Structure 1
Amino acid sequence: MSKTNPEADLEASDDQLNRAIEELRGVLQEEEQRTGAPERDATTTNPGVILNIPVDVQIVLGSAEMQVSELMALQKGSTVALNRRIGEPVDVVVNGRRIARGEITVLESDPSRFGIRLTEIVTAQKKG
C-alpha cells in the first residue's frame, strides 16, 4: 500500500474486492451449470470462497494536516502531531471503511508487541 496516495490504495482495494466478487460469480455460475442447481447464496455453496478473500486491515492512530512545505521538511527524527490524544480510541479500517474502534494494548504473549482491543463495532448504515 502506498503511503503517498491513500486514494489510489482505496481504489486498488476496491478493485481487488470487485475482482474477487466477479471470480465468485463465475464459480457460482460454473457450479450451477455443472449441477443444474439454481444459484444460491455464496456462503451456502462454498463459504471458503468468501472466507479466503484478502482484505486490508489498518489501525488508524490519528491523522495530521500539513502544507506541502512542512511535509517536504520532514526528516528522520521529526515528530508529526496527530489529531488524537493518548488514550483516545483508534479506528479499525477494512478496505477503507471504518468497522470498529478500540484501544491499544500490549500483547500478553509478547510484551514487545502491541495490538488493539476492540471496544466498539460500527454498525453498517443502509444506503438510500
Structure 2
Amino acid sequence: MLYAILAYHVEDVVVSWTADEDTAVMANLHELHEKLTADGRMGPAARLGGTKGAFTLRGPGAGVIIDGPFAETKEQLLGFYVVDCATREDAIATARDLRRVNPTAVYEIRPVQLFLPGSPMAATHALTDHVRPASS
C-alpha cells in the first residue's frame, strides 16, 4: 500500500537554520532515502518552496486565487514522501525514522488512494494496470 507522509514544520525555524545545520539534516534524510530506495519503498519526495511563494485556489466556479496556503496550523507543509509500506504500522515506523533524523518536524501519514504513473515504484505500475485516469 502506498502512503503519503507529509512533513510539517515551523517554517521560521527551518529558514533560521545555518547552512551547516540544514546540510546536516538533509544528509541524514538522504541516508534514510537511500535505505528506502534500496528496499524498493521510496517513491517521489520533495522539499517544497517557501510558503511566501504559495497561493491557493478556492471558491465556486473558476474560483479565486489568493496568496498563501492559509493553513490554520502553527506548522506549514514543507515537504512530502510517498512510500510503499505493507501495513499501517510499517508506514508509522517509516515516519518515526524520518522524525529520528529531523526531530522537530511533524509527520502526517495518509494512505494514497490513487497514484498515477511517474514513479518507478512497483505499486504504481500495478495500480495503473487496473485504473486508467479519465480523459480530459
- TM-score range normalised by the length of the shorter chain: under 0.3
Tell me which of the two structures has the higher relative contact order, counting C-alpha pairs closer than 8 angstroms and 6 or more residues apart.
Answer: 2
Q: Is the radius of gyration larger for structure 1 or structure 2?
A: 1
For normalisation by structure 1, the TM-score amounts to 0.23
For normalisation by structure 2, the TM-score amounts to 0.22
Per residue, is there more strand in 1 or in 2?
2
